[in-house]
Structure 1
Amino acid sequence: MAASLVASTQQAATRPVGHLENLSAYGPGWSTAHADARNSDYSPVRGAKNLTQAWKRSFPGSIYLGATNDAAGRVYVTTNGTGCHLHALDMATGNTVWCSGEVDERAIASSALLDREGHVYLADGEAMHAFDADGSVRWETPIVGTPLSAQFTPAGNLIFITHIGRVYVLDRATGQPILPPVELIPGAPDNDDTRACMRGTAECPAANTLAVDLATGRFFFTFWDKGAPSAGIRAMQLDEGAAPAIRPLWTVESLPGGSATSPDLSVDGSRVYVGDNEGGIHALATATGDRIWSHSTGYAAGGSPSLSPEGLIMPSGGGDGALMAIRDMGDRAQQVWKKDGLTNRGIPTQAAGGVAYATVSTALGNDLVVVDTATGAELDRERIPGLSIFSVGTTVGPDGTVLVPTITGDLFAFRPAQG
């Protein structure tokens, strides 16, 4: 996997531990699609080892991504059925607090992004929308293409890439552009068929959520350039000073078959992890794009991996892939454990305390299992009722509630069991 450097390859900056994260625009809780700016799919909340189902909500149509949540006890989920496409729910009961029909059905491609003031940001196929905590619209900014979830920048602006390859940076207070959109494929027309984005194939050039390094302003995303033989991963630098600009850093075009995984950043910002559609997971140096190691899982992941602060990686499910964990050992990856009896049907989510939550197949459908991340030992198992097929992004609330959405439009909440 060769890296083509377009700009300087300075070493990763020294990072003030926790400082920028504490000052960032992200709200407390699971406030973006993959938990944080790094796309870790990891919760710092100490995870419960024993759960019990609290409630279930069924929505018309489908759910494609995990539900975000905030410290005020609200859960936000996007759907593509008739009526509202953005739903705000009470985490304690699952009851609707408000819902909005201001966004169209292509809002299903994103999870709602939540800031520390309680505002909600969500794009559809026409615009980026900002909402107050009561669901009223604050502003709307027209866009071209459909993003697959947004992030915040180090300065607290919104940044996102639409599926046709347009990069936007907007002031989160007003929606005004901080700089003109960057067209990665100049003149690319908006194609409203985003189904190819589920697998990250050539028909959807920017199919995943970008990862942002809040210490340096670098951001990373998968991209299938026009006419390229395979997808790749790109790094760019965002400058938010007096003359805001985006400049390219490096490009690696070696993700065969495309990629259905959003890139993950290590805690220290020195490594970015990304998967391809032929069963590979790769670790690259964020400063240069140089490959550090590649590891084969034996199947193509159908979503992003979960990455703990200690470097434990749990790939998403795909086909008949077994639930597993691998660890970044520095110059190589090492399989820590693999459970052939647990077929992975979703995005496993790790939480503090050495636990993970995963959807696994059974003869009757799917179950939610709680596993010990050190050994893979099963600690608890809860039935997911009905025809769930697979889950699409398990998330964790501030109180330890585990939220499991399914492709069939159901959202289940499991809370820590008493005793």
Structure 2
Amino acid sequence: MRTRTRVVASLAAAGVVALAGCGTDVDDITVGAGKGWPATHHDGSNASSSPVPGADSMSLSWSRPVGGPIAQPLTIGAEGQMFVTTSTGNCAIFSFQMLTGRKRFCNPLGPSTIEAPTVLDGVSNVYVGDDGAVNSFNYLGQPRWRTPVAGVPVAIQFTGDGNVLTVTQSGQVDVLSRQTGGRVVSTVQLLGEPDFLKYPGLTRPASGDGLDDCHTGGPRCAVANTTAVDPSTGRFFVTVWEPGKQAAALRALRYADGAVRQEWNAEVLTGGSATSPALSADGDTVYIGDNSKRLIALNATDGATRWTQPLPWAPQGGISVKGDLLIPAGDNGYLTALRDTGDKAEIVWERKDLALRGTAAQTSGDIGYTVAAIGAGLSLITFDTTTGNTIDSDPLPSATGTTTGTSVGPEGEVVVATRLGEIFAFTPDA
């Protein structure tokens, strides 16, 4: 089955021509960090922290179901427009307005869109994958372009020069023009090119092949996590589990000089990757969690391990990083913070009474937000990131299960979505 997956490369990498819409050679649209939550974990560093000042008191503004399950965190544009993927039969990507939760648009896409994250540019053009393609829509939901790829893009970010970087679960890496969807450099296959002479009967697997293993970083999902990008160096970090390997690896690749090349490979993720990689603010350190219940810090330049820190649970999803403070997620764990001291990690505080049901987001002013299980339900917890003390607690009415992430809006709004498919938007109290 894994050998069959490799055939995807040649079929899409052969350069199937992008279906380009109207474009221009002039590009003055901003991308990257800033107000809003334009990527799965805020920006290319995957640090799940926002420069927006946090509020010490929040109130529920509105909630609404989307009609289907949700697997990825919501993204939020600079003006507050929200985007989320799901699977409803009729709609696969939704957009909502922050003020009221009113739907702006919903568009049909392939059934695997639910597993595809979204990323937004400065005018809320949205970029999202589905079964065998990368798509772009404007803020009204009108299609801009669609480019075929092999598999389902489970990682999508912006490069330092404003192009779209995508990686599918089968290991295909593409850099696409944000204006037209055209390939900027040759496609790279993280699992290598298929050998048709040795395996003449190879057939193309389904686009969603192995996606079920992506939830846990299992071996049938070659790439299970969102890519972290350092725009200043062109270096980006991808988790890869090659067929036959005993452990998954963190790889550093670099997009520069008209090509994507691998810089190093660190096979350190025992049991597979559990989190997306996250970068320190200076880009010198990359943090990652594995399924053997460890946080690992590596030198971003050469992949050397700086330290490993065991946890009582396997971290999941993302790691919130602000300065030297790390807050891991994981639905089997509790809210805790660690400090990177350079050669080791030390526990700063623990809140064993707060069972995590989502990821943490840090904001300026030493304010953090996460969802925790309180009684039989879920609550948004506002906490002091220096001490872990609860500042505010707001229930998610009738919510159960767990959430996909914690997103912070341009005016300090906090938005979370349950995996069962309901969105909750909180606004700061005056």
1:318 aligned partner:
331
| Distance in 2, Cα, partners of 1:261 & 1:107 | 20
1:282 aligned partner:
296
1:17 aligned partner:
none
Matched, 1:367 2:341: no
Matched, 1:93 2:109: no
Checking the alignment, whether the CA contact within 8 Å between 2:228 and 2:276 is kept in structure 1 is: yes
> Aligned to 2:421, which of 376, 396, 409?
409
1:202 aligned partner:
219
State the secondary structure of the residue aligned to 2:112.
helix
| Distance in 1, Cα, partners of 2:41 & 2:48 | 5
> Aligned to 2:58, which of 51, 56, 67?
51
2:208 aligned partner:
192
Which whole-Å deviations, capped at 9, do the CAs of 1:383-419 have from their partners, x for residues lacking one?
Answer: 112242011111000011100111110110011013x
Checking the alignment, whether the CA contact within 8 Å between 1:28 and 1:116 is kept in structure 2 is: no
Checking the alignment, whether the CA contact within 8 Å between 2:63 and 2:101 is kept in structure 1 is: yes
1:80 aligned partner:
87
Checking the alignment, whether the CA contact within 8 Å between 1:122 and 1:149 is kept in structure 2 is: no
| Distance in 2, Cα, partners of 1:210 & 1:417 | 35
1:3 aligned partner:
none
C-alpha deviation, 1:60, in angstroms: 2.0
C-alpha deviation, 1:190, in angstroms: 4.3
| Distance in 2, Cα, partners of 1:100 & 1:215 | 35
| Distance in 1, Cα, partners of 2:41 & 2:116 | 11
| Distance in 1, Cα, partners of 2:37 & 2:337 | 22
1:9 aligned partner:
none
C-alpha deviation, 1:117, in angstroms: 3.4
State the secondary structure of the residue aligned to 2:153.
coil
Checking the alignment, whether the CA contact within 8 Å between 1:109 and 1:149 is kept in structure 2 is: no
| Distance in 2, Cα, partners of 1:77 & 1:24 | 21
Give the structure-1-normalised TM-score: 0.90
2:149 aligned partner:
143
| Distance in 1, Cα, partners of 2:147 & 2:329 | 33
Checking the alignment, whether the CA contact within 8 Å between 1:164 and 1:190 is kept in structure 2 is: no
Checking the alignment, whether the CA contact within 8 Å between 1:388 and 1:410 is kept in structure 2 is: no
State the secondary structure of the residue aligned to 1:49.
coil
Q: 1:324-343 to 2 correspondence within 5 Å?
A: 324-343=336-355
> Aligned to 2:285, which of 271, 296, 301?
271
Matched, 1:227 2:240: no
1:171 aligned partner:
177
Checking the alignment, whether the CA contact within 8 Å between 1:33 and 1:110 is kept in structure 2 is: no
Which whole-Å deviations, capped at 9, do the CAs of 1:174-229 have from their partners, x for residues lacking one?
Answer: 11111221111233844524121111110101000111111000010111011110
Checking the alignment, whether the CA contact within 8 Å between 1:345 and 1:361 is kept in structure 2 is: yes
CA RMSD of aligned residues (A): 1.5
Matched, 1:37 2:44: yes
Q: Specify the code of the residue in structure 1 equivalent to 2:113.
A: A
Checking the alignment, whether the CA contact within 8 Å between 1:170 and 1:177 is kept in structure 2 is: yes
C-alpha deviation, 1:111, in angstroms: 2.6
Give 4+ residue runs of structure 1 displaced > 3 Å after superposition.
187-191
C-alpha deviation, 1:28, in angstroms: 4.2
State the secondary structure of the residue aligned to 2:173.
strand
Gaps (5+ residues) in structure 2?
1-27, 195-203
Q: Specify the code of the residue in structure 1 equivalent to 2:73.
A: G
1:128 aligned partner:
134
| Distance in 2, Cα, partners of 1:387 & 1:51 | 17
| Distance in 2, Cα, partners of 1:253 & 1:106 | 28
| Distance in 1, Cα, partners of 2:131 & 2:46 | 23
